[in-house]
Amino acid sequence: MTLVNPSATCAGRQRFEIYTDSAAHCRCQNAKGVSTISIAENKKILETFYDAGNRGDMETCFGLIADDVVWTNVGTTKFSGRYEGKQLVMEKLLGPLFGRLKRGITMNVHRLVAEGDHVVAQSSGTAETLDGRPYNNRYCWIVRVRDGLIAEVTEYSDTALISNTFD
């Protein structure tokens, strides 16, 4: 094991000494002991989230979201904004959006890139509105994973497509 960066930030909060024993794992050591953060496990959480959503398993999807999640949709659409807390995300973002679609959004993940507690997901989605129009968007999510749950999402997408489809 080698010291990588003695002054790096681990899990986005405190300063730790970071050691690595493989490309996919780092150990963060502080005065209270050693905890292990697995980059591969963080990516797996997002894979599980997307797979469950594609199967219509919303219980698993929502189970992977932290109660205090902060979800930000960048832009100026009716769905743009900062949503704090799982309940608000469900009531003000996902409920209204998915209520306008026949069967939700089928997501195709093209790339997952991870570093520390962040995972970036590049994906595309296909859906159909209740009135039969296609809604096929591309997304880039920057996700922070905390304690095995999705704690923060910043979502970028084609906002012109969102406005044209849902306004």
Q: What is the average pLDDT across 117-138?
A: 97
Residues 6+ apart with CB under 8 A from 157: 73, 75, 137, 138, 139, 140
> 23-75, pLDDT tens digit by residue?
444 444 444 544 455 889 999 999 999 999 999 999 999 999 999 999 999 99
Q: What is the average pLDDT across 134-147?
A: 96
Q: How does the average pLDDT of the chain come out, rounded?
A: 84
Beta pairing partners, 134: 128
Q: Please, what's the b/e burial string for 25-62 (b: 16 or more CB within 10 A of its CB; e: otherwise)?
A: ebbbeeeeeeeebebeebbbbbeebbebbbeeeeeebb
Banded pLDDT at 158 (limits 50, 70, 90): very high
What domains can you pick out in the chain, each with its CATH number? 2-38 (no CATH), 39-166 (3.10.450.50)
Q: For residue 2, is pLDDT > 60?
A: no
Residues 6+ apart with CB under 8 A from 31: none
Least confident interval from 14-28, 66-80, 97-111:
14-28
Q: What is the average pLDDT across 105-134?
A: 96
Residue 53: what pLDDT?
A: 94
CA 42 from centre of chain: 10
> 143-156, pLDDT tens digit by residue?
999 989 999 999 99
